[in-house]
Amino acid sequence: MFKKILIANRGEIACRVIKTARKMGILTVAVYSEADRDALHVEMADEAVCIGPAPSKESYLAMDKIIAACQQTGAEAVHPGYGFLSENEAFSRRLEEEGIVFIGPKHYSVAAMGDKIASKKLALEARVNVIPGYNEAIDTPDQAVKIARDIGYPVMIKASAGGGGKGLRVAFNDQEAHEGFSSCKTEAKNAFGDDRVFIEKFVEEPRHIEIQLIGDAHGNCIYLHERECSLQRRHQKVIEEAPSPFIDPATRQAMGEQAVALAKAVNYQSAGTVEFVVGKDKSFYFLEMNTRLQVEHPVTEFITGLDLVELMIRVAAGEKLPFTQADIKLDGWAMECRINAEDPFRGFLPSTGRLIKFHPPAAHSTGPLAAVRVDTGVYEGGEISMFYDSMIAKLIVHGATRAAAIARMRDALNAFVIRGVASNISFQAALLQNPRFVSGNFNTGLIAEEYPHGFNAAAVPHDDPAMLISVAAAMHRQYLARNALISGQMPGHEYKPGANFVVRLEDGTDHAVTVSAATDGAPGWDVEFAGERYEIRSPWQFGQALYQGTFCRLPGSPKSGSAPLWGAANECERGGPMVGEHFCMQVERSGLKYRLFHWGTQADLLVMTARAAHLQSLMPHKAPPDMSKFLLSPMPGLLTQIAVTPGQEVKAGEVLARIEAMKMENVLKAERDCVVNELLAKAGESLAVDQPIIGFR
């Protein structure tokens, strides 16, 4: 076994590998760019080596620097994680030539299967089902359009070295094929250093299901069941689960056996994933093979009880797999949510900055099958950089059934606190309530179909407004009670908090409420409004981001709205014990406003006296400044191109500028015909969100 390994990666996956290496008694070496000097993986490793500036090309993609770091530290092997050089055949071969073990497949397997064009040819030879397409590299946009026409729209344009949704476009017509080809080549060149692009038929209403496998140097190769990865936004996975709610045992076995046959055809020795597109009739076609560890590998670890990183290390050290196909179990259900630094209320644009608060949910148990697991490479006070991908953490849960896993994930998302940058937690919570997802009857088009105009708070109406009103009113009353304790008050003129308030919802409706201290002596408050009474019992203290406790409707009080989605209805019953429904929501206070986050709903409520509510309703609305004559940066990022000049007439739909953020290229186009007045930024400049780029006449 190795004594020391180097992790040629950063962030969450570097921390993940370090944890397993530490468990195995192996020393670790981290590499880092100048932007990652204070990163968590640098702190966790036994040693750390700086390998260059922030851009990936000058650091994490620089083979010479990584090999030099191995030689400098005496690392015997390299774990590449995922992304960067993990599927680079030249890197694997060079390590082998230097006498350093690559913790992954042999270079010839990477070359054969890491290249999507070559892998499809090999799949055909191995009698694996393959989707129709043009499997040679394409040189020009015009050639791409001609090939797309021959195959028949819609088509999928893919970078041969792509992954993670980068270098991938779906085209439904000639214009989209022309533009998509150019964007794919640019993204692939920047992200992978390989701009080859090919085209294949896009299967409509598809499911994306992948088979995890592991092979050793002794001729053994075993599949570890499937993962359902169909819930995607713009071809990037959002929620993954294992097993799939769609696959039956016979289909699972057929897909697994084809995946193993393909792996054995190239003498595959490590963890790898064979991805399939599956039709509604359960017909399946090979898409590609990822010759590396997948982002979503923890869900497979949950249902099998295996540590895939440990298996990769042991296989690389020459050990034989300690189990057979018959030994692989399928225990319960696992789900993973990718928590990304992106703003779902601004079209999922990247969000960068400092993590002012970062409180992941606590695990519900310990051991290899802990109910809740958080894999991350960040910490409170750390920086989310624009130079790398947007992932903050992976939230993984395990349950005995799919319903149990969904319920546990909902609880975990409620308790996941992130402040300082925007995150997609509210969007994840909304998806977990979507009837199509809950039923298991969905495909890769679910998000585009359910949220055609994007995601907003109104898309997730809360099913129990009484809870939101009660919590906001109770918080406000608790703040006032604290004010009454201020020392030095004039005798006879002490501050006495009132009990009657008005809660104004975002739709402008007002609700008169009365709040009083809990009658049973427990920490909490009793709230009355609309002729009903509610008890909130919570030990919440000022400054805490999570408001946890019980919410109880007194005997005879009907619910407002349908039954809640957060577990069993444990209401107070007439004549029965006063046991409330447990809840956990995130709360923020700003002046009179209380922002509540619960089950994907983000609600802003104002709590005031009746007089203040009347005066506030008389306040004139201040219109925002007119910025219609400016092109504003929709996100923080690097301005890579300005495609217009002062005085130029621009037609609607023409490209104005390109911004690169978190390894994705974003093209900004004119919304209407206009004339350029002045350029307010230069190519190569780092932009802040809403920073003016171009002014128009």
- 534 three-state secondary structure: strand
288: annotated active-site residue: yes
| Residues 78/70, Cβ–Cβ less than 8 Å | yes
Residue with tokens 């130079």: 387
**HEC-encoded secondary structure of 213-229:** EEECCCCCEEEEEEEEE
Residue with tokens 């809990």: 518
Distance CA 53, CA 385 (A): 13
- Asked if the bond preceding 692 is cis, omega within 30° of 0, the reply is no
Residue with tokens 């799919």: 402
Taking the CA atoms of the chain, what radius of gyration do you get in angstroms?
28
| Residues 21/76, Cβ–Cβ less than 8 Å | no
Distance CA 54, CA 565 (A): 44
Task: Name residue 524's beta-bridge partners.
Answer: 537
Q: Which two three-digit tokens encode residue 377? A: 């490479």
Q: Which two three-digit tokens encode residue 638? A: 């690097």
- Asked if the bond preceding 243 is cis, omega within 30° of 0, the reply is yes
Distance CA 85, CA 193 (A): 10
Q: Side chain identity at 379, as an amino acid letter?
A: Y
Angle, CA 235 vertex, CA 86 and CA 117 arms, to 5°: 55
Residue with tokens 């099958």: 369
Q: Which two three-digit tokens encode residue 344? A: 């779902």
DSSP state of 127: T
Q: For residues 427-443, b (16+ Cβ closer than 10 Å) or e, as one string? A: bbbbbbbbeebbeeebb
DSSP state of 558: P
Catalytic residue among 89, 240, 241, 288: 288
Residue 259's nearest CA partner among 276, 243, 237, 246 is 276
Distance CA 680, CA 630 (A): 9
Q: Which two three-digit tokens encode residue 509? A: 């409706």
Distance CA 639, CA 688 (A): 10
> Looking at the annotation, which residues are catalytic?
288
